[in-house]
Structure 1
C-alpha cells in the first residue's frame, strides 16, 4: 500500500481493481452455469452462489476499507448474528453498498445479501444471469407486474427457508437536489410529509415484502439503515464509485465521513394491514430525516 500511495490515483485504482474485475468475470460465468442447475437443485445453487457472492463482496469491501482507508462508523441497535431480515435504507450513492455490506459482514450475512435489481439486467449475459442464479429479485417497480417474480423470490425464503437479508432502497432512486424538489412538490400536492434530507419512500414494495415474509418463521425483523455522509464541511456528499476504488486515505486525508445508523424492528411489532404498514414506513422516513438533520448539526460542530 505504501508503494501505491506514491503513484497517480487513477493508476492506483486500476492496479487495485483489475484483479477483482477478472475474478468477478470468472464468478459471473460460474454463476451463469449454475442457472441451469438451479432447476434441479435450488438449495445447492443458493448455497454455492452465496459463498461466491461472499468472496466477491468481501474483496471489494477490503479495497474500500483496508486499502483505501474508509472508516465506517455505526450507531443504533446491535444486530443479532445470522438473523434473516427485511432491510430498508435510504440511497445516496454507490458507497451505500459498502456501508450495508460492513454491517452484513459483522452480522455473518454478507453472502446472503440479496438486493432488488432492475429486471433489464436479467438479459445481460453473465452479469445478469449470475444475479438471476443468485436469487436476486429482478423487478420493474410496477408491483402488479412483478408479482410472479416476487413469488419466486419469496418462495425460496418462505418454503425453503433460505437465510437472507432482502435489501431495498425504498426511495427507488438516489437522492439528488433535483429529485428532492420533485419529492417535495409531490408531497405537498398529496398531503404527505416530506422527510428531511430524503425522498418520500415507495410503500407498495415494502408492504408486499413484509406481508409475504411474515410467513417465513426464520425472518424475524425489519432492519432500517440510515446512511449519512460528509465531505469536509459538506453534508450528504459522498465519493463516486471510481473515487471509492482509487483514492487513498478516504477518511483521514480526503476528509470523508461514512456513517450508518441501525434500527431493528421485530416483525411481530409491525402493523398487520397494508394501509397501516404504508403509514408505518412513511413515519419511519420522517424519523430518519430527523436523525439525519441531527447528525448534520453534530458534524457541523466537530
Structure 2
C-alpha cells in the first residue's frame, strides 16, 4: 500500500474501493440468485450467504483498519468465540458498523451479523434482494407493521437454530445535537431519565427480540455495545464514510480515535416481564451515558 500514499486522497480512495465495489456487486448478484433456493434449502442459503457476507465485510474492514490505519480501542468484557447473541448499540455515525464488525471479526461471527435494515432497501435490485436472502430484518419502525417481518426472522433463528448476532441501534436513528434536545424534551414530558450523550432508546423492538429469542437455546446473551469517537480532543467527532475509505493515516496524522466498550449479559438473567425488560434497557443507556461522559472527560485533557 506504500505506492498509494503518493496519490491524492480522493484518487487513493477510488483505487482502494473500486475493486471492493465490483466484488460487492458480484456478491449481491450471487445472494439474489440464492433467493429462489431459500424455499427448499433455507439452511444452505443461510450458510452460503453468511460466507459471502463475511468476505465482503472483511474486505472493507481491512481497508479501514489495515490500509487506512484506524486503531480501535476495545474495553469491557471479552466475548466468547462464536456465541449467538442479541446486540444493542448506540448510533453516532455511518462509521459505527466498522466498530461492530471489528468486534464480530474478533469473535468469529462476522458472517453471522444480521442488522435491522429499512424495508425500502428491499426494492433495490440485487442489494435489497441479497439482504432478504441473508435473513436481514427489513423493518419500517412501525411496530404494528413490523411484527410479521420479525416473526419471519425470529422463526429462522429459533426453529432452525441459525447462529447469529442480531444487531440493532436501539435509538433508531443517528445522534445529533438537535435530536438530543428533542430527546430531552420527550423525557421531561414523559418522566423518563435522559441518558448523557445519547438519545432515549426505543424499547419495543428490544423487548420483542429478547422474548422471542429466549426460545432459541443457542442464543446465550445480550451484548451491550457503546461506541465513541474523538478527533484531536474533540469528543464524538468521527470521519465521514468517504474519509474512512480515502484517508491513509486515520489514527495518526488525522488524529481520530475509535472506542468500543462491551458488556455481556446472560439472557437467562434478564427480567421476564415486558415492562421490566424495557426498564432494563433504559438502565443500560444510563450506564452507557456515564461511560461516554468519562471518555469525553479524558478527551478534554489530551
**1:8 and 2:5 matched:** no
Superposed counterparts of 1:21-170, under 5 Å:
21-170=21-170
CA shift, 1:6, in A, is 1.3
- For residues 193-249 of structure 1, the C-alpha deviation after alignment (integer angstroms, 9 at most, x for no partner) is 111000000000000000000000000000000001001121001001000000111
Q: What RMSD in Å do the two structures reach over aligned CA positions?
A: 0.6
Match of 2:19 in 1: 19
- Paired with 1:64 and 1:214, the residues of 2 have a C-alpha distance of 35
- For residues 35-92 of structure 1, the C-alpha deviation after alignment (integer angstroms, 9 at most, x for no partner) is 1110110000000000000000000000000000000110000100000000000001
- Paired with 2:301 and 2:260, the residues of 1 have a C-alpha distance of 19
- Paired with 1:269 and 1:240, the residues of 2 have a C-alpha distance of 38
CA shift, 1:277, in A, is 0.3
CA shift, 1:300, in A, is 2.1
Superposed counterparts of 1:172-211, under 5 Å:
172-211=172-211
- Paired with 2:98 and 2:263, the residues of 1 have a C-alpha distance of 18
**1:281 and 2:263 matched:** no
- Paired with 2:220 and 2:101, the residues of 1 have a C-alpha distance of 19
- For residues 122-143 of structure 1, the C-alpha deviation after alignment (integer angstroms, 9 at most, x for no partner) is 1111000000000000001112
- For residues 79-117 of structure 1, the C-alpha deviation after alignment (integer angstroms, 9 at most, x for no partner) is 000000000000011111001000000101000000000
- For residues 157-202 of structure 1, the C-alpha deviation after alignment (integer angstroms, 9 at most, x for no partner) is 0000000000000000000111111111111111111110000000
CA shift, 1:301, in A, is 2.2
Match of 2:263 in 1: 263
Matched residue SS, 2:166: strand
Match of 2:212 in 1: 212
The gaps in structure 2 that reach 5 residues or longer are none
